[in-house]
Chains A and B, each alone.
Chain A
């Protein structure tokens, strides 16, 4: 997609009949959504007692993410603003209950009834003012406030988001904090532009040992420089009520050593490229003017 969907139209208009079907029938999208939902479910850290839980799928769309929840045996309620997407979900006979609603108007559920909430690629829509009467800040406040109330104590909410910018991510997390959530951002594959995925993991209640953030995934197939072994710190940013949300630290490109150059050359040779032989001059420090 060349431009972000949020810039083209409000979600209930963008996801019309045609777009809804196109979205759901694309095997690429199905694959991604399934993986994201599985990861989100994992990050929900539900107790491992095989008791089905009641979960909320915010922006459930055509039920791609909900199906992952059903497959794990849970009951779920899905909320979406696009009737067309929900119709596709009906066609696919998803097991969860669907509700046509606007998350920016509040979740509309009783206090403390939900055991966990996930949202795949939906929350960023809240940051756009799709109608002249919309004020994104009020909508974010209504959303997070009502979500906090509807979650049981100790329950988590996991949002996979594609934030348009650092500022947008900050906006989302700041409203989450104001509603009383604690938690942080988990980033999977932070170095890969294609595979990089962000999950906002929020917990109800004060931060404690049990709510420690899980670490994001890192590539293990490609050989990374040994110097980047402290990437663990850069993969998660935790936020709490005490201090303002910390910006995710810029990934500092460490100065590549000789080891890294040799590894890269070996890779290229395996690929079949013509690479000059390794000598004592390889990756030797040159004079600054070079």
Chain B
């Protein structure tokens, strides 16, 4: 599961108002090479929750992302920034571990890169 997907996932349990971002408990992760596409990075940037991405990358051991993106228009022109962004967003894969809901503490296990988001009967 890439951090792009993690940045979109939110806890769906009934009654939970703040189910994002899910905290990552990483047991095993991998790096896979993905084609670099500037247009995609620029267009997806506005949808990304930056703090969540930085935290998620750090939990996978990648600390190169700046904590804050103050001036996005100029940052998006810097190829150095884009490469780091690309690496964190698309090339880091969580293989084994868990996603933890920030509000309820519920664990969603991740196995073979697939998070199990199935809710129990009483959580729907």
Residues of chain A having any CB pair with chain B under 8 Å: 49-54, 75, 77, 81, 86-87, 90, 97-102, 105-110, 112-114, 131, 133, 142, 146, 150, 152
Contacts and interface: CB of A to CB of B under 8 A. Distances in A.
A216 B104 CA distance: 47
A97 B20 contact: no
A8 B60 CA distance: 43
A108 B39 contact: no
A52 B47 CA distance: 14
B114 A99 contact: yes
Q: Which 4 A-B pairs have the closest CB atoms?
A: A108-B12, A97-B5, A101-B117, A52-B40
Nearest to A107: B12
B114 A109 contact: no
A90 B114 contact: yes
Contacts of A150: 8
Interface residues of B, number: 29
A110 B114 contact: no
B63 to A, nearest CB: 23
B43 interface: yes
A152 B46 CA distance: 12
Contacts of A50: 39
B5 A110 contact: no
Contact of A98 (B20, B39, B113): B113
B57 interface: no
B85 to A, nearest CB: 14
11 contacts: A49-B39, A54-B4, A97-B1, A97-B4, A99-B114, A100-B115, A100-B118, A101-B118, A105-B119, A110-B10, A131-B121
A142 B1 CA distance: 24
The interface centre, meaning the residue of B5, B20, B49 with most chain A CB atoms within 10 A of its CB, is B5
Nearest to B3: A97
Given A108-B11, A109-B10, A99 B117 contact: yes
Given A54-B47, A75-B4, 13 more contacts: A52-B40, A53-B43, A54-B8, A75-B40, A86-B114, A97-B2, A97-B113, A99-B5, A100-B116, A105-B124, A108-B11, A110-B9, A112-B47
